[in-house]
Chains A and B, each alone.
Chain A
Amino acid sequence: MAESVAGPEIERLIQLLARLPGLGPRSARRAALHLIRKREQLLAPLAEAMQVARERVVTCHICGNVDTRDPCTVCQDVRRDPTLLVVVESVSDLWALERAGVLRAPYHVLGGTLSPLDGIGPDDLNFPGLLARVGEGAIREVILAVNATVDGQTTAHYITDLLSAYPVKVTRLAHGVPVGGELDYLDEGTLAAAIRQRTTF
């Protein structure tokens, strides 16, 4: 094992950075060195921002989003259409849809998908919160924006069954050719879905 070239504090910083997604031990070492070099411009504000985030970030009790206030910014936004509800698997999916900026609607974060292999069942996901929101009566359409995977679609079908007792329209995202996608490189399943869901030109 290589001898450490820095004190335990720096080694600890490197070890923690190496646990971040996208960073391995080598890149964590480079990032730590960069932070140390830019101590005033980068390290100090980063440490402060992380401290603030640690103290203030909470999970929204309505939708499950993370924010520094509860209810979150999205739930407090009165310009969003209250008759729509977009169901997503995770906060990262919510952020992705917000980046796209095509829909001004409130969200509901499930916190994952049903996955028997990973031991994730209905009790582990935020279904009661979803039913409570739909049960209030204002929502007319629930958009299931879950991944086009077997686990994602199994969850979508489960939600559809749960919502069958409520007077709401349940829709899901279309599956098909991605922008920039070449037909030659697409799998048969995606092509079949694209043909099935073709639209009038």
Chain B
Amino acid sequence: MEWRDEGLVIGVKRHGETSAIIETLTKAHGRHLGLVRGGRSTRFQSLLQPGNSLGLVWRARLDEHLGSYAIEPLHLRAGRLIASGLALAGVSYLGALLRLLPERDPHESLHEALEIIADHLDLADVAPTLLARFELQVLAECGFQLDLERCAASGSRDDLIYVSPKSGRAVSASAGAPWRDKLLALPAFLRSDDSLAAPTVSELADAFRLTGFFLERNLFGPRGLPMPDARRAFLAAATK
């Protein structure tokens, strides 16, 4: 078995004295692990860092084997990312989030979005916005898409400022007024039609409260996993 693809490193584990097992989100093969022989050498160590994009050739005798990767550098970001606390927390969190995806299940749009986020993870003005949207995208790819386009009660597309925690659907200001204490706030920048609006700190907090609620309920909770510490560290760095 052999394929060629490109992937972004989301995790690295030592294997024996000289090798490493890397976990990548690939373009066409989803989250995929593989052994890199000599991966702990000085030649490879700078390449095998989370956040770097690599060209990958995967080989194995059988499809279900772990297999080994031959790698070449495509876009090495780790050197830039390790200078920023925000980016480091973001990289760790992205790894924890993407580990919720089943292995070898292709998610090309997530890979595309991940490349964009990784390029901007050290920029405090855009990284939180991109990450909040990415969380929505992960929820959607895992089958828990939130409907933020129209009001669940009235069908209206205007003045959507709440999300129902029960249904995951948007609710307009007028329809949601009687239950506003029970509804989650929907910041404008999370709705697709307001994509260029720059969020305030309180809007960011609302956005992560919203995505965090559904991530915990639908993805982390059922697997018996706590919300990652790296998410809290990212939010703390983003709102500092």
Interface residues of A (CB under 8 A from B): 21-22, 116-118, 121, 148-150, 153-154, 157-158, 160-161, 175, 187-193, 196
Contacts and interface: CB of A to CB of B under 8 A. Distances in A.
Interface of B: 11-13, 17, 23, 45-47, 49-51, 73, 75-83, 85, 88-89, 91-92, 95-96, 228-230, 233
A187 B46 contact: yes
B85 A189 contact: no
Given A121-B229, A192-B79, A116 B13 contact: no
A176 to B, nearest CB: 10
A150 B78 contact: yes
Contacts of B95: 116-117
Pairs of residues from A and B, 8 with the lowest C-beta to C-beta distance, nearest first: A189-B79, A153-B82, A157-B85, A187-B76, A154-B88, A187-B46, A117-B11, A188-B76
Nearest to B14: A118
Most buried by A among B46, B51, B82, B85: B82
A196 B122 CA distance: 15
A191 B96 CA distance: 29
B23 to A, nearest CB: 8
Given A22-B17, A116-B228, A121-B229, A154 B92 contact: yes
Contacts of A22: 17
Given A153-B82, A187-B76, A189-B76, A21 B17 contact: yes
A188 B74 CA distance: 10
B78 A154 contact: no
A196 B46 CA distance: 18
Contacts of B51: 150
Contacts of A175: 79, 82
Nearest to A160: B85
5 contacts: A187-B46, A188-B79, A190-B46, A192-B79, A196-B83
A65 B77 CA distance: 34
Contacts of A118: 13
B45 A157 contact: no
A110 to B, nearest CB: 16
B44 to A, nearest CB: 11
B82 A116 contact: no
Nearest to A23: B17
Contacts of B11: 117
Given A121-B229, A150-B92, 17 more contacts: A116-B228, A116-B230, A117-B12, A117-B13, A149-B49, A153-B82, A153-B88, A175-B79, A187-B46, A188-B79, A189-B76, A189-B79, A189-B82, A190-B46, A191-B79, A192-B80, A196-B83
B91 A150 contact: yes
A154 B94 CA distance: 14
A158 B50 CA distance: 18
Most buried by B among A117, A188, A189: A189
B123 to A, nearest CB: 15
Contacts of A188: 75-76, 79
A187 B73 contact: yes
Nearest to B96: A116
Contacts of B82: 148-150, 153, 175, 189
